[in-house]
Amino acid sequence: MSQHCCNLHEIVNKMTRHHFPFEDNVIPRNGVYLLFETGEYGHGADRIVRVGTHTGPNQLRSRLKQHFVQENKDRSIFRKNIGRCLLNRDKDPYTSVWELDFTTREAKLNNGHLVDPAYQSNIESRVSDYIQKHFSFCVLAIEDKPERLSLESRLISTLSLCDECAPSVQWLGMSSPHEKIRRSGLWQVNELYKEPLNNQDFDRIEVLASESR
């Protein structure tokens, strides 16, 4: 599996890389994105630290903005995980409030009084600052939703199953309260250690990657 992960990193590190701020018109409307983080390396290249996609049609650009721009951790588990690490690293008691999900009216009624709006806004700003300064990404443009979801899962599994692609000791994710993040070196907890990429997948990735160079 380490060789598969090495091959993957070799391919995607040659692709067009996007940094914040990025222009909408250079990002495909549909696809799978792969995130890289400053200071993280694997197989002699920038290490992939997260793989993601979207479910709604033509929503890739919107999904990336939810991560990079929109300051609402309840709309981006990626943002929520970054915030968890920043707070956990500082032993900040506000962690318990950050963990709460306020997407429903009921949740707001039951727990809204616990929120310190100014402090919450400050954390969201810190999360945005970290993401915008430390992350870049490339995109495999894929129109078909089932293909996107299937490839996303196998990409994540391939990365998590690699025994050579490890996070650095200073990686922010090492402050995560989630053991899966610390162990995998990835900013996600789902689709880990499942079915990896096969030869047919690599053929497909090669074609998609060549279209993004």
Tally of structural domains, the chain:
1
In tens, the pLDDT along 9-34 reads 999 999 999 999 999 999 999 999 99
- The residue to which tokens 């070196």 are assigned: 185
Percent of the chain beyond pLDDT 90? Answer: 98
Q: Would you say 32 and 55 are in contact if contact means Cβ atoms under 8 Å apart?
A: no
- Indicate whether 213 pLDDT > 80: no
In tens, the pLDDT along 113-163 reads 999 999 999 999 999 999 999 999 999 999 999 999 999 999 999 999 999
- Write down the pLDDT at residue 131: 98
CA-to-CA distance for 111 and 127, rounded, in angstroms?
A: 22
- Write down the pLDDT at residue 174: 98
- The first and second tokens of residue 148, run together, are 């996107």
Helical segments of 112-198, H only:
117-134, 145-161, 179-184
In tens, the pLDDT along 182-200 reads 999 999 999 999 999 999 9
- Write down the pLDDT at residue 105: 93
Shortest CA distance to 173 belongs to which of 88, 77, 46, 52?
Answer: 88
In sequence order, what E strands does the chain have? Answer: 18-19, 31-42, 45-52, 135-141
Average pLDDT over the chain, rounded to whole?
96
Show the domain range for 169: 2-210
Provide the sign of the torsion angle of the four alpha carbons 113, 119, 122, 126, taken in this order: negative
- Indicate whether 1 pLDDT > 70: no
- Write down the pLDDT at residue 109: 94
Count how many residues are written for the chain.
213
User: Is this structure's pTM higher than 0.85?
Assistant: yes
DSSP 164: S
